[in-house]
Amino acid sequence: MANFKTLFLYQEPWEAERFESGVGPEMEVVGFPQGTDLLEVGGGHPETVMVVGGGGVRSVEVADLFPRLQLIQTLSAGTDTIPKIEMSERGVRVANNMGGNAVAVAEVTVALIVSTYRRLMVQWNDTNNKGVYDAGFVSDWGRFHELTGKRVGIVGLGQIGSRVAKRLAGWECEVVFSDVVSYSAEYEAAAGAARVDFDELIETSDVISLHVPLDRSTEKILSDREFGRMKPGAIVINACRGPVVDEAALIRALDDGQIAGAGLDVTEIEPIDKSNALMGRDNVVLLPHRAGLSVESREKSIDNAVGNARRLMAGEDPQGIVLPV
């Protein structure tokens, strides 16, 4: 009989099967479809020590169902939907996916930069929806820009931000970063990014790319003040969480020409409403919060969760613990 139990909230059944295969017979794994309310089903599993998939843990009352609960393990980088402070008060820790989707998000970030600079969505729409091949061919010269040689400012040089920086080396960019976290000189050198203060990054970067967790300290870190200090040709990329950007201020900055464009995988409210003023702009690329999704990223995130499950069973501290802020 297994000595430990995990509740696994899956998008597809194979995810729970991969996790169960990785942890072995000492841990019982009970799978539920993502979106399951653990307050409704959790009462039958009081011996649970670990929950994988933070989407089912939006209320601290969930912890009261599981007196042995030690860890909530997300398969995403973000943990902002989980009441971490209240969970910490109950002795429950929260861990993220430890960079499981970092490569996927970094790749989409670079794609967003290029798509915004070259207005690829406008070109795609002209060709595929309008059937127009050369619309604006002459007049569009001044609207397209190259990424090579640009100064890219990365806010947050963690698992994702550092990988964005490494990929930009091939584009011959000057990469700078700002972060409240201290890193070793070796880490910064490997990323190929130079530390500057936040205001300098905002004022001097051609591209500003956001890669921070959403918490009280990062909510609306870009607002009217920051947009007003950006270069007129700057573009903003957000592939972390929508509320990190003051959306109303972003729309004003686009309307007033304070910035040249934006590439967004996330918005303040998701799914985005069709009446949102960001919709239909030729200088805004919008994606449906899918940057982190790939077969490989899911496999890596599950395998990282397996590692933490094994640490719990061995009486060791799990990795990827997020501070309760």
Q: Which residue has the tokens 């091939």?
A: 170
Name the burial class of residue 28, with classes exposed (0-12), middle (13-18) and buried (19+) by CB atoms within 10 angstroms of its CB: middle
CA quadruple 176, 180, 186, 189: dihedral, nearest 10: 0
How far lies 162's CA from each of 90, 166, 183, 219, in Å? 33, 6, 11, 21
Which range in 75-79, 124-128, 316-320 is most confidently predicted, on average pLDDT? 316-320
145 neighbors 172 (Cβ within 8 angstroms): no
Q: Among this protein's residues, is 270 annotated catalytic?
A: yes
Q: What is the pLDDT of residues 209-249, one digit of tens each?
A: 999 999 999 999 999 999 999 999 999 999 999 999 999 99
Q: What is the pLDDT of residue 139?
A: 61
Q: What is the pLDDT of residue 145?
A: 93
In 10 A of CB 247, how many CB atoms? 21
DSSP 269: S
Instruction: Tell whether pTM > 0.85.
Output: yes
- Distance in angstroms (rounded) separating the CA atoms of residues 26 and 10: 20
Instruction: Please tell me which residue in 145, 211, 241, 298 is annotated as part of the active site.
Output: 241
Q: What pLDDT band is residue 40 in, cutting at 50, 70 and 90?
A: confident
Q: What is the pLDDT of residues 87-132, one digit of tens each?
A: 999 999 999 999 999 999 999 999 999 999 999 888 888 788 887 7
Q: DSSP E strands: which ranges in the chain?
A: 4-10, 27-33, 50-52, 71-73, 93-95, 151-155, 174-178, 194-195, 207-210, 235-238, 261-264, 284-286
- Distance in angstroms (rounded) separating the CA atoms of residues 4 and 13: 20
In 10 A of CB 115, how many CB atoms? 20
List, in order of start, the domains of the chain with CATH numbers.
4-100+295-313 (3.40.50.720), 102-286 (3.40.50.720)
3-state secondary structure string across 12-59: CHHHHHHHHHHHCCCEEEEEEECCCCHHHHHHHCCCCCEEECHHHCCC
Instruction: Please tell me which residue in 289, 299, 310, 311 is annotated as part of the active site.
Output: 289
DSSP 82: S
Q: Among this protein's residues, is 174 annotated catalytic?
A: no
Q: Among this protein's residues, is 90 annotated catalytic?
A: no
41 neighbors 66 (Cβ within 8 angstroms): no
Residue 297: phi and psi, rounded to 5, are -65, -35
258 neighbors 232 (Cβ within 8 angstroms): yes
Give Cα 204 distance to the centre of its chain. Answer: 24
95 neighbors 73 (Cβ within 8 angstroms): yes
- Distance in angstroms (rounded) separating the CA atoms of residues 288 and 212: 18
Q: How many residues does the chain have?
A: 325
Instruction: Please tell me which residue in 12, 47, 89, 270 is annotated as part of the active site.
Output: 270
- Distance in angstroms (rounded) separating the CA atoms of residues 118 and 140: 10
Mean pLDDT of 32-40: 89
Give Cα 66 distance to the centre of its chain. Answer: 29
- Distance in angstroms (rounded) separating the CA atoms of residues 47 and 5: 6
Q: What is the pLDDT of residue 138?
A: 57
